[in-house]
Chains A and B, each alone.
Chain A
Amino acid sequence: MLSVKDLWVSYGAIKALKGVSLKIGAGEVVTVIGSNGAGKSTLLKTISRLIEPKSGTIDFCGQAIIKSKPYQLVDRGLIHVPEGRAILKEMTVWENLILGAHRRKDKQGIKLDIEMALSYFPVLKDRLQQAGGTLSGGEQQMLAIARALMARPKLLMLDEPSLGLAPMFVNEIFKIFVKLKEQGITILLVEQNATQALSIADKGYVLDLGKVILAQDARELLKNKAIVNAYLGKNKSIS
């Protein structure tokens, strides 16, 4: 579904990605783990065309998207939920949701999808007319995911969805990811919380200083002592 080949990205003189390649098959959950500054967010931002790469190719559903505009990617079902959730704080929860369906024209379908999104995240139902900024961190993360679902994603790219959330919320969000996977949505998950990410993933990539240093079956990665010690620090895992 998504194929990234030899991607180079730099911020001025700093090379953030040094030839990253990665493949995601339809229906898979793939997680990218790595320490801060490894280039995980840069990778997602480059795929969703927020950052211009130096070189490399990105194919989505068999077509090159390296020259596409961000809104064209949304049209084709590649949806990015960035780090920090990117909730529109001054707009209401309902407006946030409806903007998730910005590129769609089917009013009836949008209505049904709002109901579906709210059934995933019932806590948002009572908050529809509240400004996004008044929600708690966990609620904002739920809104961000609900809003992404409004675009009917084929591939959902999630950047640190568990960051700063209470364990209860983290578990809830991961349960939703499993549900989404069952619905056939492909997921690219960037996580600090690597144990939990690998436990729902099919494949894992380890990114270090802008390079993929390991790409393996998720279960294998969980067994890999060196990786567990380096990236899956005990205090980061939540049982």
Chain B
Amino acid sequence: MIQQLINGLLLGSTYSLIAIGYTLVFGVLKIMNLAHGEMFMIGGFLGILMVKLWNLPLPLALLGATIAAGLGGLLLDLVCYRPVKKTYFLAPALSTLGFGIVLKDLVVNLAGSEPQVFPAALLMGDFKIGPVLVSSIQLLVLALALALMLGLDWLINKTELGRSMRATAESETTAKILGINVNRVTILTFVISAALAGAAGVLIGLRLGKISPFIGSTIGIKGLAIMIIGGLGNLRGAFVSGILVGILELLTSVYVGAIYADVIAWTLLIIVLVMRPQGLFGSKINVDRV
């Protein structure tokens, strides 16, 4: 049981990273970034390729994939957000959806539709803490995911950039009269969100041992559900519900059957939407926004 809880925690922490990226963009810019799942896929893909083709050590590959995905976020802002009319809420959602499809097709055409596999040399040893078996990879994934989330929490709540992001989230006009460069905040929001997705992609690649070009529409979209479960635009909500879904999925696959694991996020989503539409941690304010 403890073993399963720990495995669930590990899975959940990567879900949290994806959901946080969604919720960051939604919270600050009030748009659904439907290319986010593909950013996550690109991160995982690049991470594997860097290890495979260039023999980069894992930390460098992780850093590289994070930066590359961050640059992808920059491109997303320039191509899909800035030129698009924001007064119509579907416009940026559709343009980002299109961007995601282009990314996916690019990867399929360049690298094929088969999953890319992490070299076995990377798989480090397991060790036991009491009766619980933990692999070093899992521990690494958990530590990195937690570090990234704590870092983001600090950035948002304690720094001037974080304050400008929250101010922009509350009111773009107010942010402007305070002298906040709203364009810069927008770019950084996309970059940070995509970079987190990129890192999550590498981490989940490490956990699964491989990344398929289509993972964006399975796990990536699951992140969207997790964001809504946690409450739109709520960072801590995304974090907690990511962990929650991870643990429930693991318990389900062990005690009910692996084929039911994917049902969890969506069932939870329906329950939350019916019982508590603002999400587990959402405030009334967020309901008004929706």
Size of the A side of the interface (Cβ < 8 Å), in residues, is: 26
Q: List 15 A-B contacts (CB under 8 A).
A: A69-B181, A71-B176, A71-B180, A74-B177, A74-B179, A86-B177, A88-B166, A88-B170, A90-B285, A91-B166, A98-B163, A99-B164, A99-B167, A99-B178, A102-B179
Contact A71 B179 (CB under 8 A): yes
User: Which DSSP category, helix, strand, loop or mixed, fits chain B's interface?
Assistant: helix
Lowest 4 A-B CB distances belong to which pairs? A74-B179, A70-B176, A103-B179, A86-B174
Task: Give the chain A neighbours of B180 by CB distance below 8 A.
Answer: 71, 99, 102
Interface residues of B in 152-200 (CB under 8 A from A): 160, 163-164, 166-167, 170-171, 173-174, 176-181
| Contacts from A to B (Cβ < 8 Å) | 48, 50, 69-71, 73-75, 79-82, 86-91, 95, 98-100, 102-103, 147, 151
- C-alpha spacing A184/B164, complex, angstroms: 30
- C-alpha spacing A50/B172, complex, angstroms: 10
Given contacts A90-B285, A102-B160, contact A70 B167 (CB under 8 A): no
Contact B166 A100 (CB under 8 A): no
Smallest CB separation, A59 vs chain B (Å): 20
Among A48, A95, A98, point to the contact of B177 (Cβ < 8 A). A48
Smallest CB separation, B35 vs chain A (Å): 28
Size of the B side of the interface (Cβ < 8 Å), in residues, is: 16
Q: Nearest CB to that of A100 among chain B residues? A: B178
Among A70, A88, A90, point to the contact of B179 (Cβ < 8 A). A70
Q: Nearest CB to that of A82 among chain B residues? A: B177
- C-alpha spacing A151/B179, complex, angstroms: 9
- C-alpha spacing A69/B177, complex, angstroms: 10
- C-alpha spacing A91/B157, complex, angstroms: 10
- C-alpha spacing A75/B166, complex, angstroms: 21
Contact A50 B167 (CB under 8 A): no
Smallest CB separation, B161 vs chain A (Å): 10
Interface residues of B in 93-115 (CB under 8 A from A): none
Contact B170 A50 (CB under 8 A): no
Task: Give the chain A neighbours of B176 by CB distance below 8 A.
Answer: 50, 70-71
* 6 other A-B residue contacts (CB within 8 Å) besides A99-B180, A103-B179: A69-B181, A82-B173, A86-B177, A87-B174, A89-B170, A151-B178
Q: Nearest CB to that of B164 among chain A residues? A: A102
Q: Nearest CB to that of A157 among chain B residues? A: B177
- C-alpha spacing A50/B174, complex, angstroms: 10
Contact B173 A50 (CB under 8 A): yes
- C-alpha spacing A102/B160, complex, angstroms: 8
- C-alpha spacing A88/B164, complex, angstroms: 11
Task: Give the chain B neighbours of A79 by CB distance below 8 A.
Answer: 177
Task: Give the chain B neighbours of A151 by CB distance below 8 A.
Answer: 178-179
Given contacts A98-B163, A102-B164, contact A90 B178 (CB under 8 A): no
- C-alpha spacing A1/B179, complex, angstroms: 20
Task: Give the chain B neighbours of A73 by CB distance below 8 A.
Answer: 179
- C-alpha spacing A99/B176, complex, angstroms: 11
Task: Give the chain A neighbours of B173 by CB distance below 8 A.
Answer: 50, 82, 86
- C-alpha spacing A131/B181, complex, angstroms: 23
Contact A50 B166 (CB under 8 A): no
Task: Give the chain B neighbours of A102 by CB distance below 8 A.
Answer: 160, 163-164, 178-180
Q: Nearest CB to that of B176 among chain A residues? A: A70
Smallest CB separation, B160 vs chain A (Å): 7
Among B164, B171, B181, point to the contact of A86 (Cβ < 8 A). B171
Q: Among the interface residues B174, B178, B285, which one has the most CB atoms of the partner chain A within 10 A? A: B178
- C-alpha spacing A159/B167, complex, angstroms: 20
Task: Give the chain A neighbours of B285 by CB distance below 8 A.
Answer: 90
- C-alpha spacing A89/B170, complex, angstroms: 8
- C-alpha spacing A91/B167, complex, angstroms: 8
- C-alpha spacing A144/B179, complex, angstroms: 14
Smallest CB separation, B67 vs chain A (Å): 27
